[in-house]
Amino acid sequence: MTLNHPLPDDPLKFIQRCIGQRKILWTYHVNIRLKGRFIPRQALIESYASYEIIEQYLKDKYLPSYLLTPELGRVGGWLQNQEAAFMKCHVCGSKLKPLITDLPFNFSDETIVILKSLPVLQCENCSEYLLDDPVMARVERILEKVNVAAELEIIRYAA
C-alpha cells in the first residue's frame, strides 16, 4: 500500500506534538480499555512529555502503531496524521467522514447509555467511528452523571 502522506521522521516527537495540541481521535475500544484499567484520559494527555516508545509496529495495517509508556504505565494505541488532507479508517483503510449519530455506551453490566446527536468521524465502509478529543471529554463528563440504577438512559449530546 502506498501512503498519500509522509510519515514523520521522529514519530515520538510527532505523537507528543499531536497530544500536546490535543489533535487526538479516540476509539471506543481505547476508551473501554482505559476505563477497565482505571486510567483517566486526562492523565494520558498530561503525561505526554514523558512518553517513550517501547514497541514499534511499523507494518501495521495502513499506518505504523506504537506502544508507549508514560510515567503512569503502559499505554497502547495508534495515531494517524491529522494534518493529512484526508483521514483513513484504522480498520479497513476507507475514508472517514464527519456525521452526527446516536451511539450506545455500555456504562456497566447493567446500564446502557445512548448518546443522541453525537458528532463522530465514521468510516464510509465498515462503520467504525472515532471521537474527537473535545467530544470525548464532554462524553466523559456526561457519563459521570449517569444514573447507575437505570438499565437504559438516553441523553442528548448538546455541543
Which of the two residues, 18 and 88, has the higher pLDDT score?
Answer: 18
Is 38 inside a domain boundary? Answer: yes
- Which of 3-12, 109-118, 126-135 shows the highest mean pLDDT? 109-118
- If you search the block for the grid coordinates 514497541, which residue do you land on? 55
Is 3 inside a domain boundary? Answer: no
pLDDT given for residue 116 in this prediction = 93
**Number of domain units in the chain:** 1
Is 4 inside a domain boundary? Answer: no
Is 94 inside a domain boundary? Answer: yes
pLDDT given for residue 38 in this prediction = 65
Average confidence (pLDDT) over 27-51: 78
Q: How far apart are CA 98 and CA 75, in angstroms?
A: 27
Q: How far apart are CA 52 and CA 50, in angstroms?
A: 7
Q: How far apart are CA 35 and CA 38, in angstroms?
A: 5
Q: Is the pLDDT of residue 75 over 60?
A: no
Q: How far apart are CA 74 and CA 65, in angstroms?
A: 14
Q: What percent of the chain has pLDDT over 70?
A: 82
Q: For residue 124, how many other CB atoms are within 10 A of its CB?
A: 12
For residue 58, give its domain range: 11-156
Is 2 inside a domain boundary? Answer: no
